[in-house]
Structure 1
């Protein structure tokens, strides 16, 4: 199909390339009547290239690498990468971008290590926040280099300060865990606190668990994200919480944890409308991530197999090379989880 005049063109480059389909648009004419081109980008398939060209024509932007700002690179990165990310990852990048306001209107090719370093050095938030800002810079430069918007990665020179902050996470005590069990049939959603304590799930992972991935008869389920080792990992179910998970599973619902309408619950709603209410009613002072810290502490105190603990929690390591679990692997995970009393 012939494209309209002035619309741009899509064509395949020669040789073996990871992204062989090029997209370019006409940006002007030479004195002798020849067209001037700028490349929009390179894509794996023709449909993706055509989609990128259509998006550009719907909302044209300056293609000159010398004029593209930090904000424009971020917006392009966001449009392409956000749909493939978890909500928590999107929130992290958005927060990091908002804390980089001094860079927003700068031309991307004019940004140097000192500009990014200043943002991090002047950030008055936690070490974790500063680390997320650096991750954003790393990802933007990777994206920019893939699309020929820059030729040097200055983000790799940015340094993080030493993390001198003590962890604010504190595990639940045995008395507090017993208190949760005492009220498990009296207060809504206390079961979710216990599920996290006995699985090591991150709170953001809890609300992503789908019922179809739970195998009650095998006492395990698949879930998790954030790291390569943590994504879609097998998590054994402790006998103590098996009935809690079974009772929460509703064949009409896609997710294990849902809102009052039976739809997926966001972490924001879970934390502000469920977690805080439980902590207030039981007079406890904990944040959701304390459950994961509690799990790690309990497993370590029980003398559980170290490799099994890392696999259950989704921690990467030299001895965790893939996400393939054999029947024997799952048996080992169950043995490890059953060390908890």
Structure 2
């Protein structure tokens, strides 16, 4: 069957080759300055095992022509180029989340981006064993990478199928069922607080409602002990940027850590260095909780704070303001003295 003019062509190369069928298209016409004759400048779409595969590739190219240079870019290369541009515009916690999400894509990292399909992305999600919050970040990452690839003409707009990745049924059968600390467990923490200074860190988390990343990344310059509050300057969400009141019960522990050493961060390693989450979790959180005979994750402290505040009758809007939930709306960067006093009064009720 004769192909339409300007469509391109497929022909078989001589000799024994694994992919003998070559698909080519006319890139542009060039005029010879000496003879004034016009000649075609052709480019190769690809080499294929069968004629049918070559014709299919040619048809795909004509449906949405792509640049053959960019078509060789792998998913890994797209991530590298996208992250180089994007990471400087987001918080460190977001960067960590994107990096963790990209680890899920390692099985197809070396695949050409133009060859990655919705089924590929969906398969990764379905077989990741991750829970919904983790896969939500994964879906966001894929969407941003696809958008970048469209902008840079690596894939046509109709190939961006990230929005159709289904994560609603996602769930890790081994995932942890997060529960607040019970009253008895909190009492046990208070009894054991002097046996290890990192027990006090757990109490600081419970009585402030901050995320573990927010406390580990808290610098002393952002802590105001005399007025009993500290600034969270980097968070997972815009609502997380806030002033957090220091509960009177754990104020002594904030003071101890503040004056402990010369580390610029409030919470530090025994060597006086900034804590990496994995180091804190593996070396301190897990052993201490095992010592107590209980099972919790750091984020349970945040749930515990919310529960305690609610039980104490604190207004829901005030709770959201303390813990930095998205529902509190646009975060105010400037707090009045009255607002800070109200936050302190609320946190002291637990």
Whether these two folds match at TM > 0.5 is: yes
Q: Kindly tell me: are residues 63 and 304 of structure 1, through their superposed partners in 2, closer, same or farther at Cα, counting changes over 3 Å?
A: farther
Q: Kindly tell me: are residues 319 and 227 of structure 1, through their superposed partners in 2, closer, same or farther at Cα, counting changes over 3 Å?
A: closer
**Structure 2 partner of 1:189:** 198
TM-score (norm 1): 0.74
**Equivalent position to 1:172, from 173, 181, 203:** 181
**Structure 2 partner of 1:234:** 243
**Equivalent position to 2:74, from 66, 69, 72:** 69
**Structure 1 partner of 2:86:** 81
**Structure 2 partner of 1:95:** 100
Q: Give the Å deviation of 1:121.
A: 2.6
**Structure 1 partner of 2:123:** 118
Q: Kindly tell me: are residues 300 and 161 of structure 1, through their superposed partners in 2, closer, same or farther at Cα, counting changes over 3 Å?
A: same
Q: Pick which of 270-279 and 324-333 moved more.
A: 324-333
Whether 1:273 aligns to 2:283 is yes
Q: Is the 8 A contact 2:132 2:170 kept in 1?
A: yes
**Structure 2 partner of 1:22:** none
Give the whole-Å Cα distance in 2 for the aligned partners of 1:286 and 1:247: 25
Uncovered stretches (5+) of structure 2, i.e. residues with no partner:
1-29, 34-66
Whether 1:290 aligns to 2:300 is yes
Q: Which whole-Å deviations, capped at 9, do the CAs of 1:205-262 have from their partners, x for residues lacking one?
A: 111011110111111000151011113x110011111111011103622011111221
Q: Is the 8 A contact 2:74 2:110 kept in 1?
A: yes
Partner SS for 1:144? helix
Instruction: Select the structure of larger CA radius of gyration.
Output: 2
Q: Give the Å deviation of 1:299.
A: 0.9
Aligned length: 284
**Structure 1 partner of 2:55:** none
**Structure 2 partner of 1:41:** none
Q: Kindly tell me: are residues 150 and 299 of structure 1, through their superposed partners in 2, closer, same or farther at Cα, counting changes over 3 Å?
A: same
**Equivalent position to 1:249, from 237, 248, 258:** 258
Q: Give the Å deviation of 1:102.
A: 4.6
Q: Is the 8 A contact 2:130 2:170 kept in 1?
A: no
Q: Give the Å deviation of 1:86.
A: 5.0
Q: Pick which of 113-122 and 271-280 moved more.
A: 113-122
Whether 1:324 aligns to 2:334 is yes
Uncovered stretches (5+) of structure 1, i.e. residues with no partner:
1-29, 34-61
**Equivalent position to 1:131, from 136, 140, 145:** 136
Q: Which whole-Å deviations, capped at 9, do the CAs of 1:10-68 have from their partners, x for residues lacking one?
A: xxxxxxxxxxxxxxxxxxxx7879xxxxxxxxxxxxxxxxxxxxxxxxxxxx9933222
Whether 1:154 aligns to 2:164 is no
Q: Give the Å deviation of 1:71.
A: 1.3
**Structure 2 partner of 1:143:** 148
Give the whole-Å Cα distance in 2 for the aligned partners of 1:269 and 1:225: 20
**Equivalent position to 1:302, from 312, 323, 326:** 312
Alignment root-mean-square deviation, CA: 2.8
Q: Give the Å deviation of 1:282.
A: 2.1
Give the whole-Å Cα distance in 2 for the aligned partners of 1:259 and 1:133: 31
**Structure 2 partner of 1:49:** none
TM-score (norm 2): 0.72
